[in-house]
Amino acid sequence: MVGGKPEWSDIMRKFIFPYVHLPSEFVRLLKSSLSLTNSAAPVLDVLRPNKALYSVLKNSFMEFDERKNLEKILLALGWPNFRDRMASLYIHKIIYGAYPSRTNIELVEEISATENRFRDFSVNSYSRLFLLGFYLKLANFQIQASEEFESDPLVIPAELEKILQFSRGRSERIDWLIIVIIHLLNDLGVDTICENLKSGLKFDDFFQMLTNDSKELMAKNLLAYGASIQEPDFFLYDKV
């Protein structure tokens, strides 16, 4: 505690990631490298097999084309704009219980802010930052609605940018890296991490500096996130 105000480490004691059932087609797209030019096929080939979802999208995006031509709409909006508006449909359904008749970009402002905040540290053709922001938003809805799940709202601490400044190049899986750093900040603090990084210590070395309780918390949170985004291979390979 500093001046009666809780420090980040005090808050993090209840920083628990829940498992969140995320829409599989959307998650698959967010994990893919997409930079659409003249073809919408990489996106539509994923969406089209789910006929119910495809129908929802055609109706909700009709404001951009009365003929409900998703290919035309996608190419006109571009993947990032289409992605953001598609996310708004899922968020609206969680809040109001049904899909809306049109998209609402205001519902994804927090997610976009997360993406913009760390854009310089990620591979931009992937939407991993958007995926993390999407997960955090839905996880917080779930935490708020639960009477049994005890956790403070999931937020990314301001100090995290200072740590990422030491990263070499851009990270393809920036979402995983951010989650790991959050836990390091909780147990070690930003000054200790920065000083050791300046001395040449690598991110992997910090794990051995954590308490057993912090190691257990990190493992549980990583498992919950991996299950939510349908990505177990983080635990099978070393590179992030």
| Residues 21-32: tens digit of each pLDDT | 999 999 999 999
Indicate whether 4 pLDDT > 50. no
Indicate whether 10 pLDDT > 60. no
Q: What is the pLDDT of residue 236?
A: 55
Q: What is the pLDDT of residue 237?
A: 52
- Measured CA to CA, the distance from residue 10 to residue 14 in angstroms comes to 8
Return the higher-pLDDT residue of 232 and 127: 127
Band the pLDDT of 5: cuts 50, 70, 90: very low
| Residues 139-155: tens digit of each pLDDT | 999 998 886 667 778 99
Q: What is the pLDDT of residue 13?
A: 47
| Residues 102-120: tens digit of each pLDDT | 999 999 999 999 999 999 9
Q: What is the pLDDT of residue 195?
A: 92
Average pLDDT score over residue span 157-171: 89
Q: What is the pLDDT of residue 201?
A: 85
Q: What angle do CA 173, 223, 50 make, to 5 degrees?
A: 70
Q: What is the pLDDT of residue 6?
A: 38
Band the pLDDT of 11: cuts 50, 70, 90: very low
DSSP the chain: -BTTBPPHHHHHTT--PPP----HHHHHHHTS----SS--HHHHHHHTT-HHHHHHHHHHTGGG-TT--HHHHHHHH-HHHHHHHHHHHHHHHHHHSS--SS--GGGGHHHHHHHHHTGGGB-TTS-HHHHHHHHHHHHHHHHHH-SS---PPP---TTHHHHHTTS-S-BTTHHHHHHHHHHHHHHH-HHHHHHHHHTT--HHHHGGGS-HHHHHHHHHHHHHHHHHTT-GGGGT-S--
| Residues 191-213: tens digit of each pLDDT | 999 999 988 887 778 888 998 88
Average pLDDT score over residue span 11-16: 62
Q: What is the pLDDT of residue 36?
A: 66
Average pLDDT score over residue span 72-101: 96
- Averaged pLDDT score across all residues of the chain: 88
* Confidence (pTM): 0.89
Indicate whether 240 pLDDT > 60. no
